[in-house]
Structure 1
């Protein structure tokens, strides 16, 4: 069974007014994510500075390999309200300690919010097919989780971009 995402996925539910806050670096990966979300009818609010968590954020992608994404998720830990749907993503760290720390932080946030941790293999920001694959995988996760505000959970999965 292939791990490849479906690039013809249907638009996101209720996307007419949906904005996804993207905590990242405004780099090629962020631009690919924004383009894929835009293709599906979402607007993207990009945050590339260390602001911590924004209480106005409801649907969020946190790139944990960036300062903005890491600080945003750290700022969410322990907050109960307002509820948020969060897709946390990063390359799986080599260090078992760092992997466990990230997993535990996401799991803690999942006690009050809907949090999905997406680990991924290394991606070269200039290599279009894996970059597109990552963007589609993350947008699919946003699509599946968005709007299910009654259910709070934590999930984790791995996307192989090779």
Structure 2
């Protein structure tokens, strides 16, 4: 871990007064920056908060929003809850995976631009089938709309670089 990363972590820890009960907030700050929880950072947090690495990993694996694996800049979550499933969410998921050349086993593109995940419910059943991109809801999805969304996101990413 670099000195810059340690300084960033020390700032976050100081903001939370090195309080072990703030472990979730500290982990959320790390994930917001890195899009996942790097192992060396979790070890550092455990040491600085005076709690075991086992407890840190227990928290990281208990909450679904935390990830121990790197994710792409755009995290696409395809809902496969009942309402979305009956309205054909699987062909949408398959289109995202085909377009991005990812799978359930390898959900992130090699360039770290996209991660495709399925979720049990996004809580937007009236908009089914639905997906989110970095928590922004895209309602009434179709495989064609999925293809267009990927093209739009790739263009957006190209303009940012």
Query: Normalising by the residue count of structure 2, what TM-score does the alignment of the two structures yield?
Result: 0.24
Greater fraction strand: 1
Which has the larger Rg? 2
Bigger RCO of structures 1 and 2 (CA < 8 A, at least 6 apart) = 1
Query: Normalising by the residue count of structure 1, what TM-score does the alignment of the two structures yield?
Result: 0.24
Greater fraction helix: 2
